Structure 1
Amino acid sequence: MPTKKANSLATLKSAIYPITLYAEKTSAVYDQNGIKIGSLNKGQTVHLKGISKGHGIIEYLGQSGYVDLANYYHKNLVNPTKSVTYKAYSYYVKVFAKLYPEFTSLEKIGESVEGRAIYALRVGNGKKEILVDAAIHAREHMTTNVVMEMIDNYSYSYNKKTSFAGYNVRQTLDTTSIWFVPMINPDGVTLVQNGINSMANKNLIKQINKSSNYKRWKANARGVDLNRNFDGEWKYVPFTSKTYKGYKGPRVFSEPEAQALKAFVERHKFKSDISYHSSGQILYWFNFQNSANYKRDLALTRQISRVTGYSIIPPLYVRGSGSSADWFIMSQKKPGITVEIAPYAGEGPVSHKHWNNVWNKNKSIGLLASKEASKR
């Protein structure tokens, strides 16, 4: 109910990413000067228009009111049936962190070549931790949808103390929390989704791509394939010319995106890394582990395979890799599993017609990996 006149409110701005929220309890509404001008009852619906100085901006009496988002909850925040852009995901992770400060933590772990932020969001309070990352390859941005939908569903179930996909979410994530990195390559994803005019390095990218087809792009903004830039014995990876995919970079960890993920991993003691890619419906897991680790990593891979139906790639015994998961296996001595989520898409993004199938296969994988890690 209002306690002040509506003219004490700020002019309402349109929401770029509309979100519906629900009051967890009776919650005060403030004007732009911090003066209480009303309240909302438990269960009341509000429409989030944005975030300003840590507060949510909502529609109130036809204008803008300011609320503490920790007094609200969401139901379905992300629309995974459409491409999730860099700007959308960046906004969504900030909203999740403001809604649920008691069991989430948001960290900017670095920036891309063109200065776009790379975020990591923790869900759960478990002292043990695993890593789930996505979109290291630009055209494989459906993997961001998978990770964001995990965050959406897991955080809702955690908050409401409900189960999801057969897991007690709160119990699982309060034993082993998950750090999600939804978009490692925000420049590349932006290029694929929005085209060449969305980029600062237009001339370099045009020169590298040698085509007007930017949907095929896998690299970062200066033509380095980030999944060839990590040190899984990088020195043995052949040099190629700069192109839209496959170039390993002038030196190992030359790229800011790879440096950001490396530093983030080294600040933690992750029990596993589940690295999402998009084509093949297959699982990679091997990088010359010793006998005990071989058995452990294969056992986890088999669990994922049983749930997803994805085929397990047998050991190839090829020396030299630049992939993030292979580097994780070698440097952390823990499972690093690459999950390819969809049928082969050729030189472009996975079609959204595959979304429902992809999600049904992968919706529990974060929780599965979390529970498995709790035993180690």
Structure 2
Amino acid sequence: MKKISIIITVFTLMFLTPVQEILAKQNIQPYQTYTYAKMKEDLVELDDHYGDLVEVYSIGKTPYNRELYLVKLGFGKANAFYNGSHHAREWITTTLNLKMIDTYASAYNTDSSLGGYNVKDLLHKTTIWFVPMVNPDGVTLQQVGLDAFPSSVHDNLIQMNEGSTNFKRWKANAQGIDLNRQYPVGWENVRNAHPDPNWRNYKGTKPFQAEEAKVMRDITHIINPDLSLAYHTAGRVLYWNFGVDPADLERDRAIAKKYETLAGYQMVHTNSGAGYTDWINGVFDKPGITPELGYYVGETEVKPDQFSEIWRRNKHAGLAMASEASNVSSSNTKTKDREESLFVDGSVKGALLPNSTETLYKQAQNAQEKLGLSIEQTVKLYSWYQKCGNSCSVKDTSLKDIFHDLQYFTSIKSKQGIKTDHAWTVTFATDVHKNSINQDNIYILNDQNQKVASQDLVINGNRVEIKPPEGNYESGKSYTIYVKGVQALDGKVMKKPVQMQFTTQ
């Protein structure tokens, strides 16, 4: 019996160890002042521990150089988007975001159910995206005070705080803009707006004035969420209806009712506007709900000792809303990364690089459409834009973190003074397979990176003649010939794609 007992014990330990390792990483400590620095530390650990299930992206910076982070959880086609800490003193919403990420990821890895939801199944239907802390400058000011900011701005911060050096009531960002009054739906007529930068209620001079709000605008457009939650703290109520299209009213009421039932928060009508979920309701025509997590404690933060009750009310509601996002979704969004080789010709370069004439999210969306990118690749591209700024280059090695295989063309010496009816001959080292000769593999772009109208390609052994387009080339213009992916008769593919620019007479 003793020997049998030992065998059983060893077997049990071998069986349980992977689960114990997973559960041991549930290390979000909610019963403390949850700082920006602690959030960064926890995000690194969650990203490392959960592999591809949890991905963390830097999507921008605040005016005081604190990074804004986006977290991806899951692999689903539908998209739910949760955020916290629009308001500085409401940082316990960040704690909730991190606790959700950790708990849901752990349940996925252990194939566990929470609140009747099989988390693994759910996260294969819906991807949940999080911006846990929209306002890290404001949060830091509220928690730490003036010492966290340059002395040169102390007087201005005190002025915006109406002469006080106690910042515990602070809601705005560090420029005195209320980030939850920065969205365009209802912005013109927002109630109780402060006329100047202030610790609360200043809506700014225009929507999306604040850098943090611009990033929220951009990433929301890229994700295009099927359902959004913007967590706030005071009142134990749900705001859900402002800007909702009458055609969507019953749908959104039923979803908010489900949250009300699970969390015990009362649904109330919103009468103001300019908030994040007001914008979601009014522009995206998708459900947007603002849960106020704790009871009202006055002009200060909700204390961490309330977190147990907040977690009890919201633990399953977050999964329920992810399930509702799947029900709402009618998306045909591409969820798998583009895996085929990306050849960086002039057209691809134009699609990849940001320019000053478009907002970054529109540039990212253009690349997504033109290059067939997944949402995740588009998020990565937007993150790259934010990091490289005005020095973005297609030769940046970090682009290889976005695309599986980048192929660059080798340049051949350019030609000038070419006749407009010139026919080009491309000569290969060996005879080429005719099935590999087409206008995707041998083509010409004009100086606007547009493909020249259909041209005949004539194959003769190891040579391919490129006939001029109908009506010939334009005079005094530059063009580029691109050759890639051509196969020899034995099936071998040319090793390096090549390009050559020419200019007509």
- Choose from 146, 149, 156 the match for 2:96: 146
- Select the residue among 169, 173, 177 that pairs with 1:220: 173
After alignment, is 218-227 or 162-171 more displaced?
162-171
3-state SS of paired residue (2:259): helix
Is 1:312 the counterpart of 2:267? The answer is yes
Match of 1:207 in 2: 159
Mapped partners of 1:353, 1:106: distance in 2: 28
Q: Is the 8 A contact 1:175 1:374 kept in 2?
A: yes
* Superposed counterparts of 1:1-376, under 5 Å: 74-200=24-150, 201-209=153-161, 210-237=163-190, 238=193, 240-314=195-269, 316=271, 321-376=273-328
**Which one has a bigger Cα radius of gyration?**
2
How much identity, in percent, do the aligned residues show? 33
Partner letter of residue 168 of structure 2?
K
More helix by share: 2
1:218-238 CA distances to partner (integer Å, 9 max, x unpaired)? 000110010111111312234
State the aligned residue count.
310
Listed one character per residue, the Cα deviations across residues 58-117 of structure 1 (whole Å, up to 9, x for unaligned) are: xxxxxxxxxxxxxx7743221011121101111211221222222222111211121100
97 and 241 in structure 1: CA distance in 2 versus 1, 3 angstrom threshold: same
Amino acid paired to 1:207: Q
* Alpha-carbon contact 1:188-1:217 (below 8 Å) kept: yes
Give the drift of 1:165.
Answer: 2.9
Q: Describe the SS at the equivalent of 1:374.
A: helix
Relative to structure 1, is the Cα distance of residues 97 and 251 closer, same or farther in structure 2, using a 3 angstrom cutoff? same
| Whole-angstrom distance in 1 between the partners of 2:314 and 2:23 | 24
**Conserved? CA contact 1:109–1:261, under 8 Å:** no
Query: Match for residue 8 of structure 1?
Result: none
Query: Cα distance 1:176–1:43, how it changes in 2: closer, same or farther (>3 A)?
Result: closer
* Letter of the structure 1 residue corresponding to residue 154 of structure 2: K
| C-alpha RMSD of matched pairs (Å) | 2.1
Q: 1:45 to 1:356 in 2, by over 3 A?
A: closer
Name the aligned partner's letter for residue 274 of structure 1: L
User: What's the secondary structure of 1:100's corresponding residue?
Assistant: helix
- The more displaced of 343-352 and 102-111 is 102-111
For the residue of structure 2 that corresponds to 1:235, the secondary structure is: coil
Structure 1 pair 357/45, CA: closer, same or farther in 2 (3 Å)? closer
The structure showing larger relative contact order (alpha-carbon pairs under 8 Å, at least 6 residues apart) is 1
Tell me the TM-score normalised to structure 2 length: 0.59
Are the counterparts in 1 of residues 243 and 279 from structure 2 also a CA contact under 8 Å?
Answer: no
The 8 Å contact of residues 19 and 110 in structure 2, kept in 1 or not, is answered as no
Q: Which amino acid aligns with 2:25?
A: K
Q: Distance in 1 between matches of 2:310 and 2:256?
A: 17
SS in 1 for 2:252: helix
- Distance across 1 between alignment mates of 2:260 and 2:46: 30
- 1:184 is paired with a residue whose SS is coil
Change (3 A) 1:139 1:332: same
1:190, distance to aligned residue in structure 2 (A): 0.7
CA shift at 1:239, angstroms?
A: 5.3
Kept in 1: contact 2:244–2:282 (CA 8 A) = yes
Give the SS at the match of 2:223: coil
Question: What is the distance in 2 between the residues matched to 1:158 and 1:257?
Answer: 31
Kept after mapping to 2: 8 A contact 1:126/1:176: yes
Measure, in 2, the Cα distance between the counterparts of 1:73 and 1:142: 23
List gaps (5 residues or longer) in structure 1.
1-24, 26-41, 47-71
SS at match of 1:363: helix
Structure 2 spans left out of the alignment, 5+ residues: 1-13, 329-505
8 Å contact from structure 2 (residues 82, 228) kept in 1: yes
Give CA-to-partner distance per residue, 1:195-233, whole Å, 9 cap, x none: 211123323211211212200000001100101111113
Bigger drift between 159-168 and 299-308 goes to 159-168
CA apart distance, 1:315? 5.3
Whole-angstrom CA distance in 1 between matches of 2:278 and 2:46: 30
Deviations 1:268-324 (A, max 9, x none): 1210111100000000011232222111111111000001111110354x5xx2211
**1:159 shift after superposition:** 1.4
8 Å CA contact retained: 1:143, 1:277: yes
Judge conservation of contact 2:179–2:213 (CA < 8 Å) in 1. yes
Q: Determine the C-alpha separation between the residues in 2 that align with 1:138 and 1:349.
A: 9
Contact 1:178 1:366 in 2 (8 A): no
Distance 1:169 1:183 in 2: 24
Contact 2:72 2:128 in 1 (8 A): yes
Distance 2:196 2:19 in 1: 58
Extract structure 1 runs of 4+ deviating beyond 6 A.
none
CA–CA distance in structure 2, aligned partners of residues 91 and 332 of structure 1: 33
Pairwise CA distance, 1:166: 2.6
State how far apart, in whole Å, the 2-side matches of 1:290 and 1:151 are: 31
Say whether the 8 Å CA contact 1:73–1:99 is kept in structure 2. Answer: no
